[in-house]
Structures are given as structure tokens and as C-alpha cells.
Amino acid sequence: MEELPPSRTSDLLKARHRGTLSNRSGRYEAAQRVFADDGWGSLAGGWWSEDSAANQPPLQTTVQPDASRSILARNDSPDLPFERSVNPYRGCEHGCAYCFARPSHAWLGLSPGLDFETRLFSKPEAGALLEQAFRARTYRPAPLGLGTNTDPWQPVERKLGITRSVLTVLEAYQHPVAIVTKGAMITRDVDILARMAVRGLVLVCISITTLDPDLSRRLEPRASTPAARLKAVRVLSEAGVPVRINAAPMIPGLNDHELDAILGAGKQAGGRYAGAILLRLPQEVRSLFTEWLETHVPDRAGRVLSLIRQCRDGDLNSAAFGDRMRGQGPVADLLWQRFRLAARRNGLLLTPPALRTDLFACPLQKLHLKVGDQMALL
């Protein structure tokens, strides 16, 4: 059977405002889904054809509850400034074409492509599970990462409010948290974040990939616009919340020329710190992002891929600690030199202060009382 080439699906999927162009089976599946002509010319006039693309309804996002019994994920990566994290959702409707978290959907028997951005899983008990973890006798506080795999303020959060329940627990237990998001909806929770900031318990990293709204719309179709993210930086900063401008991911030949402008705009909006990450393309993301390049910027696709390989020792990705987020070689070295100079020029610091852990304490009464729960006597 012949797989449908990306060019045959591009018009349909661009019309549906999704980031990826295919829904190929995950790497753990025994069978692979492909389009094939049934002998009646179906590939020439099917639902994916150019003529019918404009008349197709948009792909719907579905959300199912996740029955996780624990909420803390742990890592031992020396590249990350935290050893534990919380993600209120699996999958992300933002649909960023480059998202390094896409391969995690293969663990669920789903595609890292369109499934990742349309078939979401929520963790409605995230707040209660986090509180349960904090109250364990063996728990010791350390900075917690929030939004390290999928965005905690993606569109579905507006209705479900799971991320806010997590913040409520973090504040009540005076637990430090470092947040990463592209969602301007974070300003909804500025009340909690401002109170935590006074105690040195929070750092917010706002990721800004580009200042070009057209590129952003194609690259990360359902994430907040660049202007909305900069407004969120301003709102948070004015409330006293420390904000790090995360120029990420930097994609050589596509958006890296905006590095200085991104940091400058972030500083003007009130950001205090700067960060950057080189594009990562693990597992299925390699082919998904290559499809995106060939469809949206075909004139630059070859050069972008070549520059990425020059940063990854001839490959499109490296999983090695110390290299996976920075790359190596002249192209990567030049990018980081430019980053350091741009941060200095814009008055942004590279290292935020350490978050406090000494304030952590369990409240006398649980926040999520259930049948059988009792208050402490002492």
C-alpha cells in the first residue's frame, strides 16, 4: 500500500489549524496506518483532497480522565534544575509542531501526531494527589517543575481548572515551583502566584518562539499569540512575579535570527531573566517536524535540516546529557554566543535566585477532605 504524501494532506490540515500533518502509528504499535487507493481512484477525490479540504469540519479535541494514582514524575537528568515535576494533562492542544513531548503519546497506544493534540487526558485528582504526596512522612521539599511535558494552561484548563487546584496546594504547603508555559491564561492565577512570589516560592518561564504572528500561527497553532504572551509577562511582572523569558526552541535557519528581538521584547515587558533551548527532535518528532518544514517553508526546509544536523553531529537529534538542549559545533556555539550577548545587552540575568524550601509545612487541615479523613490532634 502507498502512504499518502504530506503534500496531499497539507491543505486539509492547515485549514483545521493543527500543528502536525499526519497521524502515523506510534513506535510501539504492531501495525502502521497508511492511506491506500482502493482501486476506485479514492486517493484522487477523498476527504483529504484539495477540493474537499475547505468543506471539512475542524478536528475536534476530546478529553478523557486519566486514572493516575500518583502525580509526581521524577527525573535524574543533570540538564534540568529540578528532580520532580507535575503535569496536569497528557497531550497538548497547543499543537506545537516541534514539541519534544509528542513521543510520550506512543506510550498510550496513540499517535504522537494528531492524536497528541486532539486526544487529551486530564488528571482531575491532581491537586488531591499532590497533597497526598506532600503529607507523606518521607517527603522532603525541593523545587517542583510545573508544565515540563505539556502546557498546564492549554485551552482545556479554562474549563477544568486542574492547574489552579495544583497551585492552591502549592501555596497552602508553601512549596517552591518553577513553571514553564506558552499559555497567557496563566494571568488568571496571578493572585496565587503573586502571594507565592513574596515568599520566594515561584519562578515563571514564558516560552516565546517567535514574534512573527504568522509563523507562530503555523508553528504552534493553538498556543497564545506572541503579543498575548508578552502581555502575560507584563501582568506577572507588575504583580511581583519573577519571569524568565525562554527563547525556545531556537530553530537554526527559521527563527534563530529573532533571538535578540525576543529577549528585548521580553525585557521591555518586565522579564528579569533569560533562557534558551536548541530545538530537540526525539523519536517521531523528527519525521513530523520534517513534514511541517516541507509543507510550510519548502524553500528553507533543506537548509534548516542541514543546520540542525550541524548542531547534532550529523543527526537530527541527540539524547546525550549536556548536549541535547545545547547542541555542539560552530553553529550551536555561535547561537549561544549570541544568546549571552543578547541577554547582557538587554539587561537580563542568566541565573535566577534559588527558590526557598525552608518554608514548607503541612497545614493542620487537609484541603481536600474526604470521607474517613481526620484532622490532626496536634
Let me know if residue 351 belongs to a domain. Answer: no
Let me know if residue 19 belongs to a domain. Answer: no
Let me know if residue 168 belongs to a domain. Answer: yes
Residues in the chain where the model's pLDDT stays below 50: 1-15, 46-50, 369-378
Spatial distance between the Cα atoms of 217 and 296, rounded to a whole number of angstroms = 11
Let me know if residue 291 belongs to a domain. Answer: yes
Instruction: Give, as one character, the DSSP assignment of residue 356.
Output: P
Spatial distance between the Cα atoms of 35 and 37, rounded to a whole number of angstroms = 7
| Number of domains comprising the chain | 1
> Grid coordinates in use for 67?
486514572
Spatial distance between the Cα atoms of 112 and 212, rounded to a whole number of angstroms = 26
Spatial distance between the Cα atoms of 183 and 222, rounded to a whole number of angstroms = 9
Exposure class string for 196-211: b at 16+ Cβ within 10 A, else e:
bbeebbbbbbbbbbbb
Instruction: Give, as one character, the DSSP assignment of residue 88.
Output: S
Question: In angstroms, how far is CA 164 from the centroid of its own chain?
Answer: 17
Let me know if residue 166 belongs to a domain. Answer: yes
Closest CA to 201 of 377, 354, 4, 27: 354
Query: For 151, left (φ over 0), alpha (ψ -120 to 50), or beta?
Result: beta
State residue 376's pLDDT score.
40
State residue 325's pLDDT score.
83
State residue 28's pLDDT score.
64
* H or E, element range at 43: helix 42-45
State residue 11's pLDDT score.
41
Let me know if residue 287 belongs to a domain. Answer: yes
Let me know if residue 1 belongs to a domain. Answer: no
Spatial distance between the Cα atoms of 302 and 129, rounded to a whole number of angstroms = 46
Spatial distance between the Cα atoms of 121 and 339, rounded to a whole number of angstroms = 36
CATH number, residue 336 = 3.80.30.30
Instruction: Give, as one character, the DSSP assignment of residue 188.
Output: G
The structure's pTM equals: 0.86
State residue 33's pLDDT score.
64
Can you give the residue range of the structural domain that contains 103? 60-345
State residue 373's pLDDT score.
40
Let me know if residue 339 belongs to a domain. Answer: yes
Closest CA to 52 of 8, 6, 17, 2: 8
Note the pLDDT tens digit of each residue in 157-208.
999 999 999 999 999 999 999 999 999 999 999 999 999 999 999 999 999 9
